[in-house]
Structure 1
């Protein structure tokens, strides 16, 4: 199994087998000095925009690496997309949700400042939190060897969610819902899974989002933590959409 390294500045769309791709900067330094990648080893390099190149490392330096490409994999963008709208949560529960969701194939992540969120992203903390989640997503993409790097949006309040999701089909994960997620029939729209914080989605927020067109759905008889609900729902939708 190849190890994946990402360099979003690379243009890999026109690369063909036989070419040499050079990885530089911090990602190359990590590969060479931390992961101890050496000439002769097989790795993959991705641009985060759908292209992976596989091959054998030809040479290395302290902050550089050259890869002789023998295989190019181009993956089209997913349609419909799966979007995780994850409520901010205490501890690292929201981060665990984002990590697992990325490994399972989520296509975009939206941090949600829900009314019951104990954690608050305000002022400079908002961008710091977004960058933290983006770093978690990036590492999860590398671990799972994915061709696409999901974007992480700015933190969004409840009132702004419908507009921020731009016509996506909003699915509220709500244990009391009468419709099961397994009964869902996709209609071509992107699917946005809205996951509440500890204590669930507040009744007023639930009412507001439903009025905006959101659909409450349940996963099963048990109540899942905020760290597991989103990934579990993505697994269900992967099967529904034929991804798995």
Structure 2
């Protein structure tokens, strides 16, 4: 069974050395001591959220903290091909379901998207609150899945801003039921053309329940985004992104 993972301050985690004592306090320490009820002798990992991980055995448990003796330190390798989920805001918490599953599946970053047909809107204070909710969501999902990398959560974007941002990734694919090629076919063509020989980044765009408009397809297509379908069935906004990530993890050799 894999060891429980917790997150600690960057400086403290990166400053730890084998044989040294490490104190895990704050919310994570309370979770380990009070919620998980961990005991001396049990082993845990602590990460800085950016790939650095320490492992150790618990030597003492306080009312809201645990102390461990560090046994190992190291940097987990970053994926050669980065994956970004551009998730349209969707009703019924389906966008949050998608982001949570995507984190468990290894996504490297997520972008909240104000699509034309999004019913949910983040405006004013809601934009900050909505993003912070996603930040908490990906942190919890990364912890549950024992990931030492916590995905970055970008600020909410409308389609114009998303088109401008697209230059930050090497490839952008729009999941669309009427696309002429499948996602697998798109990436087979990229591989055949040598586009995947070097490290790369890919953004997968998922629309809301009402779908992506023709105007949005045109605007994103003008900056090089390619439409692709997953298969013969239409998936919900909550499942399309995770399904695409599973396929891309396989096609890109991440799994």
TM-score, normalising length: structure 2:
0.91
Q: Report the CA distance shift for 1:98/1:42 in structure 2 as closer, same or farther (over 3 A).
A: same
State the partner residue of 1:7: 8
2-structure distance, mates of 1:153, 1:137: 12
- What is the CA distance between 1:214 and its match in structure 2? 0.4
Determine if the alignment matches structure 1 residue 193 to structure 2 residue 194.
no
Determine if the alignment matches structure 1 residue 147 to structure 2 residue 148.
yes
2-structure distance, mates of 1:167, 1:189: 11
Please show how residues 97-112 of structure 1 align to structure 2 within 5 Å.
Answer: 97-112=98-113
Say which is worse superposed, 206-215 or 98-107, in terms of deviation.
206-215
2-structure distance, mates of 1:165, 1:67: 44
State the partner residue of 2:56: 55
State the partner residue of 1:129: 130
- What is the CA distance between 1:10 and its match in structure 2? 3.8
State the partner residue of 2:45: 44
| Unmatched segments (≥5 aa) in structure 2 | none
Q: 1:19-45 CA distances to partner (integer Å, 9 max, x unpaired)?
A: 222211111112111111121111111
State the partner residue of 1:213: 224
2-structure distance, mates of 1:81, 1:217: 19
The partner residue of 2:237 within 226, 237, 240 is 226
2-structure distance, mates of 1:24, 1:198: 42
- What is the CA distance between 1:92 and its match in structure 2? 0.9
1-structure distance, mates of 2:117, 2:172: 19
Q: Report the CA distance shift for 1:239/1:123 in structure 2 as closer, same or farther (over 3 A).
A: same
Contact map agreement 1:3 1:44 (CA 8 A) in 2 = yes
Determine if the alignment matches structure 1 residue 172 to structure 2 residue 174.
yes
Contact map agreement 1:43 1:54 (CA 8 A) in 2 = yes
State the partner residue of 2:213: 202
Q: Report the CA distance shift for 1:62/1:165 in structure 2 as closer, same or farther (over 3 A).
A: farther
1-structure distance, mates of 2:65, 2:123: 38
- What is the CA distance between 1:190 and its match in structure 2? 0.7
- What is the CA distance between 1:243 and its match in structure 2? 1.1
Contact map agreement 1:16 1:72 (CA 8 A) in 2 = yes
CA RMSD of aligned residues (A): 1.4
Structure richer in helix, relative to its length: 2
Determine if the alignment matches structure 1 residue 181 to structure 2 residue 175.
no
- What is the CA distance between 1:11 and its match in structure 2? 4.0
State the partner residue of 1:236: 247
| Unmatched segments (≥5 aa) in structure 1 | none
1-structure distance, mates of 2:167, 2:9: 25
State the partner residue of 1:161: 162
